[in-house]
Each structure stands twice: as structure tokens, then as C-alpha cells.
Chains A and B, each alone.
Chain A
Amino acid sequence: MILSVNGVEFRYGCRTILENIGFTVRRGEFLSILGNNGAGKSTLLKTLNKILLPQQGSIYVGQQELCKLSRLSIALKMAYVAQNYGSNRQTVFDAVLLGRKPHIKWEATAADLALVQGILVKTGLAEFALRYLDELSGGELQKVVIARALAQEPEVLLLDEPTSNLDLKNQMEVLKTIRTAAKEKNIAVVAVMHDLNLALRFSDKFVLLQDTKVFVAGGSEVMTAENITQAYGVSVSVDRVQGQTVVIPR
């Protein structure tokens, strides 16, 4: 078990955002955090990277308790891709090289540069390597931040809505890149997802949040019409179309 979350509780003042959250993820698994806006999805993801400190509960990365780890040692184990990332005047290569930051002592080595180039080739970014970020499309930019997270060589990859603002083609490409990397390098992926159908297609595990609590968690067997209807407050049906499970709002 690479990540295990137990009884996590988070409050802003007296407003409770997360209550008694618990789940586990293994290496190579893709877990989607689902739920309506305001259910606490992004907050939960931030507690997993110690960007926010939960008031109660425990989070373990491998054998170590997260709150006892320094920022740097967390960065050596986990990569976090924020929902809002700056697009500044920086080349794609430099942006991805930044992912090596936790590993770099004084200056990037030849091995760091080769690793970055390898990731650029794999994510289809090699031809943009010396392009500036503010000249890229939304899909390309999203691939850059994911490439940066992969350059960190993490054991756990945390993603906050990796496919928001992307068109259909880029949604598929980005998620395929993530899933392939996760399986190849045996990385555990935890992603906050908005699109239920994409989540169903790419994830192995699901955590459905409803009003600060886990409504239901588990494999694809928990993604039933009843559960989704109750968690989202919208009546849906779950069907199989050409071998894929799809959710259709009624």
C-alpha cells in the first residue's frame, strides 16, 4: 500500500470541509476522487501533499507518516499537479527540467537532461522543447505540467482535474499518457475528476465524496446508478455501450 488515508478531518475555522475520510491506493492503481463542486475534492488532494494540514487523522506514504516528512522528502515521493498553474515565459524543456528540482543538488546533470528529453519524447512534447509556455495551447500546457510531474519520478502522482479545459482529443491523450506512465513506472495516481465517463474509463478505484464525507469508495462495482444518483443529487442511469461503462443523466 503506497498511500493510506485514515479518518482525515479538515476545517477552515469552524467550517468543516472534510470528515472522516479514508481510503487506500496501491502502486500502479488509478484512483479518481469524484463529487459535486464544494464536496471537498481539491482540499482532500491538497492534504495528501501536505499543502494543507488536516486537523485529525493520519496519512501514510509507504511506511512513513506524511506529517513527519519534510517538503523535500515529500517531493521525492509524490508529485502534485495543481489546478491552476502559471504559464510564464519559460521554455517547455526548462519547465519539465524543474521537475528534477527535488533531485538536483547544485546543477542539473547530464542524466537529468537525458531523462527530461526522454519524457518529452514520450509525452509528444519533443518538438515543442524550446517553445515558450505562453505560446502553447491548453492541451499542450497540461501535458507540460504532467511531464514535469513525471520528471519528478514520483511513487504517487496527485492530479487536480487534469482534463478540465481540454477538448475531447486532448482529454483522451492526457489520460492515456498518465495511465501508461503509471503502469510502466508502477506509479499510484490519485486524480480529482469532473467527468464521470472519463473517470470510469481510466480509473481502477473511486472515492465518491458527498458533503465533506466519503459516500462510497471502492472499485468499479461501487459506481452504480443508485450511488451516483445519491452522491450527485442527479438521477442517472449506468449503461454499457460498446464495452465501456457510461453514465447518462436522466
Chain B
Amino acid sequence: MVRDETVLDGGVTHYLKYTWKKKLIMSGLVAMTALLSLYAISAGSAELTPWQVVLTLLGRTEGQSQIIIWSIRLPRVLAALVAGIGLAVAGAVMQNILRNPLAAPSTLGIAQGAAFGAALAIIGWGAGSTPSSGGGALLINSPYIVTISAFVAAMLTTLIILFLAQYKGVSPESMVLAGVALGSLFSAATMLLQYFTNDVNVAAVVFWTFGDIGRASWGELGIMSFVVFGAMLFFLFNRWNYNALDSGTETAKGLGVNVERTRQLGMFVASLITATIVSFLGIIAFIGLVAPHLVKRLIGGDNRFLIPASGVMGALLLLAADTLSRRIIAPVVLPVGAVTSFLGAPLFLYLLVRGSKLR
């Protein structure tokens, strides 16, 4: 009897050790992100020491450093962190519910939908063009109209995908196919809009699609944080459902998961995050795709750890990309969307070659 109990306890202890390792790796990622944040706030045209940064954040200093940190660098760094968390978590959940390693906000038509919305606002409604005598006063040079239009178009894309997928019993394949089809449709529509307008508008649209973290001020940051952390809670609440889905549709149903509703709601919330971030910051590719894959290699596919760790990894990657884009040919700031794609492509190929044994 005593022996039995030691066997039982021993097994559970082994398992707890194994989960502790995952938590340790996650803490390591958090620490790396915190250090990088400190560096990102201190680095720039006006160099500050990390110690000055800490003092300023604690409200112990006055003057120039306070203004630089509180109104320029801190919102930018926080926006990179929040957007990174959001895009990565949305990617992790989409890959799970669509049973597709390539599922991500940028491969499923949502980003393209947002770009179309922005193009429509800039070209169709003159929201981004230089003031003209004929235009309505409210629409001219209004970034809010562009943001709202991009958001609405991205969410409409999502609703159409969900509606179309219902015809095939909300299967993952039908959602992926509908998403790819809509992405192609919106790209074509954006192209046509650009073809029939002047060069200033084309430039405005192209400029919008370059993702840029610097567009976020405290107000935008507040909205993004609200959506991202609300969504994070929702995903964490569903983490066991996503784990069950990993074992196949029928097994998940047998375990009491309402598979169709879990897929629809998960897809909706993931798209909501993406639409919010993309409409504020423009298109930032690859974070949603790469971050969950990197985390899977580190700690496996258990969604209890995968979802939060993907968020941290996404924050780390996007902040690194944004800091690089600010520093690499300073004072010129490169569009972060281009940097993430540049970093993302080799990283993804590396995963492809090295990860053939892992999922």
C-alpha cells in the first residue's frame, strides 16, 4: 500500500516538474521582454541611461527626459508590446481552431479586408488626401475615418468567412478557403481603387499598409489594450476547449466541447484583435504566424501554456522588430511591417527545416 502511494505521488511530482519547466521558460521570456523594453525606452536620438528611464518611470525626474519618455517612447513601446501580444495570441488560436499551421490574420483575408477599408476611406472618401475645395470638411485628412473604415471592413470580412463556413458545418477547411478567397477578392478591389486614383492617394494607401507602431498614442493604446486583454481572458477561459480540439473533432465533442460554437467564437475574437490592431497600426505580417510556432518548439502545444507564452513571444518579437526599425539606419525609421516580414521569412524557413519532427 505504501509502495502504491509512492508510485502515485512520484508520477504526479514528475508531471509537476515538467510543467514547472514550461513556466520557467515563460518567465525567461517575460524577463527578456522587460529588459528589451528598458533598452527600447532608453535608446533613441536623445540617449538616456536605463537608470534615468527607471527614475523617470517612477516619477523621480523632471524636464526633457520626462517628456520624451512619457509622450513618445513609452506609448510606442507599450503599443509594440500590446500589438505583439494580440497578433501572436490571435495567430495561436487561429492555428488551433483551423487545424492549419499557416493560419494567421495575414493569410486569412482579414488584413486584406482592413487594407481595402483603408483604401476606400482614403481614395473613395478623400479621408487621407490633401484638402480639396469639393470635399466634405469632416472627411478630409481624418485618420479616424480611415481607422474606422479599415476596422469595419476587417470585421465584415470575418463575418462573411463565418457565414460562408456555416454551409459546411463550420469545418476548418471551409473557413480557410473562404478566408483565402476573400483575401484575394479584397486585394483585387484595393488594386482597382488604386488604379483609378491619383498618385497622392496611391501613396497614402501604400503608406497606410506599412505597419507603423508610432501611430499609436495613449488613446489608441487604451483601446487596443482593452480589446487584447479582454480577448486574452476569453482565450484562457477556453484553453481546455482548444486542447480538446487538438485531439480531433469527435474526441472534443465526446469531452463536452461545443465544437462549432468554440470555432466560431474563437475565430470572431481572434479577428476582432487583428482588426483593432491592423486598423490602428497598419499591416504587421508574420508575428501571428511565427510567434506561436517558436513557442511550440520551446514548450509544446498545450494551450494552457501556449496561449500566454505566444503572447509574450509576440511582444518580444514585435518590440525587437520595432526597435530595430528605429535604430538600424537612424534617424530614418523603417516601417515595422517590412522588418517583421524580413525577420519572419528566414525564421519561418528555419522552423520549416528544423521543425519537421515537431509540430
Separation of A101 and B239 alpha carbons in the complex (Å):
10
CA separation between A81 and B254, bound complex, in Å? Answer: 8
For chain A, give the interface size range. Answer: 35 or more
CB pair B256 A102 closer than 8 Å: yes
**B256 engages A76 (CB within 8 Å):** yes
Enumerate chain A residues within 8 angstroms of B302, measured Cβ to Cβ: 90, 94
Q: In the complex, are the beta carbons of B11 and A49 less than 8 A apart?
A: no
Give the complex CA separation of A201 and B173 in angstroms: 42
Asked if A75 is at the interface of the complex by the 8 Å CB criterion, the answer is yes
On chain A, the residues within 8 Å of B296 by CB distance are 89
Q: Are A101 and B14 in contact (CB under 8 A)?
A: no
Given contacts A85-B248, A90-B300, A104-B240, A99 and B15 within 8 Å (CB-CB):
no
Given A86-B248, A98-B247, check contact A118 B256 (CB 8 Å): no
Pick the residue among A74, A84, A89, A149 that contacts B301 (CB under 8 A): A89
A152 at the interface (CB under 8 A from B): yes
User: Is A130 on the interface with B (CB-CB < 8 A)?
Assistant: yes
Contacts of A51 in B (CB 8 A): 250, 253-254
Q: B246 contacts A90, CB within 8 Å?
A: yes
- Closest approach, in angstroms, between the C-beta of A247 and any C-beta of chain B? 30
Cβ distance B248 to chain A, nearest Cβ, rounded Å:
5
B11 lies within 8 A of A74 (CB) = no
A residues neighboring B (CB under 8 Å): 46, 49, 51, 70-76, 78-82, 84-86, 88-91, 93-95, 98-99, 101-102, 104, 107, 110, 113-114, 117-118, 120-121, 126, 129-130, 145, 149, 152, 158
Sample of 15 further A-B pairs with CB below 8 A, known A86-B247, A98-B243: A46-B250, A70-B256, A71-B253, A71-B258, A74-B256, A86-B251, A88-B247, A90-B301, A93-B11, A94-B243, A98-B247, A101-B257, A113-B12, A114-B8, A158-B254
| Top 7 closest pairs, chain A to chain B, by CB | A75-B256, A80-B254, A72-B256, A117-B11, A82-B250, A102-B256, A89-B359
Q: List 8 A-B contacts (CB under 8 A).
A: A70-B256, A75-B254, A82-B251, A89-B301, A90-B302, A98-B244, A101-B241, A101-B255
